Amino acid sequence: MKIKYIVISILAILLGGMIVYRITKNKSENEKGGDKKDKKPPIAVSAVVVKPQDFSNSISLSGSIEANEQIEIHSEVSGIVENISFTEGSQVSKGQVLLKVNDVELRAQLAQAKTKENLASENERRAKLLLQKEAISQEEYDIASADYRTMKAQTQLIQAQIGKTSIRAPFSGKIGLRNISPGTYVTPTTLIANLVSSNQLKITFSIPEKYASQITKGSEIKFTVPNVTDKFTAKIYALEPGIEMTTRTMKIRALTENSSGKLLPGTFANIELALGNIKDAIIIPTEAIIPIQDGKKVFIANKGHAKEVKVETLARTDKDVVITSGLKAGDTVLTSGMMSLKDEADIKVKIK
């Protein structure tokens, strides 16, 4: 019986050992299979190797084109328009008479004033002779002299008003559409026409304050306008002396020639402003930049893994951006697949 129990015990131990071994082996195989199933393949990304290079630093801005000189023509005196001496849309010269306001009443007043002036002049002359003979006092002569000067001033005032009835062009330029006709009663508030000098044009634009110290009078800008293929140039001739507080920008004005007449006042200008060259700049494609809450970041390749790096930028173009901190020459910057990347993610890099 003892031998029988011993054999049964041995068989039971062997059977239990086999069961434990199988359970352990299956568990190990399941764990290995799970690891293989959870592990993701590397993410395929494109990248560029950073190489220092010279960068032509410039910024793109929007501006407006304005006439060099532009005014609204008004009459300084009220009256009926007697004659219009300009053609709408034509060139006029400085000093040219544009229209004439009827001055019949003013000329009648001038004749009356001259008569009074002549009488006062004669009275002053007689009073002077009498003063020399001591026939009148100095006070009486002073009164006669003052009357004469008053009448003379009145005559000059009316002559000035008559001069204002001939409205002249204050500068040479192109006159626009007229808003009156002969016979119209005009007042100083009546708009007659617009006069524009456009042989030279002003380009007004603003730059961010961080670039203000790099702009100097006489610098050249390039610009284009909508629907015109030509590229134009202008020279900066005036800068505001300070920064505008609300926008943190500085206003600048440049002057360009417009002898061809292709540029029209009132249009927008797309401006390219050169700020100088940066030597040995760290430049990367703009698509590599990822905006984040407290700045910008990029991913670089690091031993088969993606590494997140915060960067600071200076200037940019449509294709490239200059990096001032965060990268160095030789770094491999990822340019595709960044939105699906995480720090330390496995990557498969293809260099452009």
Question: What is the tens place of the pLDDT at every residue in 178-213?
Answer: 999 999 999 999 999 999 998 899 999 999 888 888
The dihedral built from the CA positions of residue 47, 49, 50 and 53, taken in this order, carries a sign that is: negative
CATH number at residue 319: 2.40.420.20
How far is residue 179's CA from residue 164's CA, in Å, rounded to a whole number?
19
Q: What is the pLDDT of residue 154?
A: 95
Shared-domain flag, residues 249 and 306: no
Residues whose CB falls within 8 Å of the CB of residue 209, separated by 6 or more in sequence, listed in order: 243, 248, 249, 250
Do 239 and 316 share a domain, yes or no? no
Residue 148 belongs to domain spanning:
103-164
- pLDDT exceeds cutoff 90 at 162: yes
Residues 290 and 322 in one domain: yes
In a domain, 32, yes or no: no
Q: Do residue 149 and residue 174 come from a single domain? A: no
Residue 57 has pLDDT above 80, yes or no: no
Tell me whether residue 38 is in a domain. no
Domain membership flag for residue 29: no
| Mean pLDDT over each residue of the chain, to the nearest integer | 87
**223 and 241 share one domain:** yes
User: Does residue 258 belong to any structural domain of this protein?
Assistant: yes
The dihedrals phi and psi of 164, each to the nearest 5 degrees, come to -75, -15
For residue 259, what pLDDT band results from cuts at 50, 70 and 90?
confident
From residue 126, how far is each of 116, 134, 145, 223 by CA, in Å? Answer: 15, 12, 10, 74
Asked if 203 and 224 sit in the same domain, the reply is yes
Average confidence (pLDDT) over 257-270: 89
94 and 107 fall within a common domain:
no
Cα–Cα distance measured from residue 218 to residue 238, given in angstroms and rounded to the nearest whole number: 9
Inside any domain, residue 3: no
Residue 178: predicted pLDDT: 94
Residue 209 lies in a domain: yes
Q: The tokens of 343 are what?
A: 């720090």
Average pLDDT of the segment spanning 91-116: 94
Q: Are 134 and 141 in contact (CB under 8 A)?
A: no
**Residue that terminates a domain, selected from 234, 261, 277:** 277
Residue 17 lies in a domain: no
pLDDT at 134 over 70: yes
pLDDT at 262: 87
Both 85 and 186 in a single domain? yes
Q: How many domains does the chain have?
A: 4
Q: Is residue 15 part of a domain?
A: no
Q: Domain holding 218: CATH number?
A: 2.40.30.170
Of 245, 277, 309, the position where a domain reaches its end is 277
Q: State the DSSP code for 244.
A: B
- Same-domain status, 123 and 52: no
- For residues 199 and 272, state if they share a domain: yes
Q: Is the pLDDT of residue 34 over 60?
A: no
126, two tokens: 């007689």
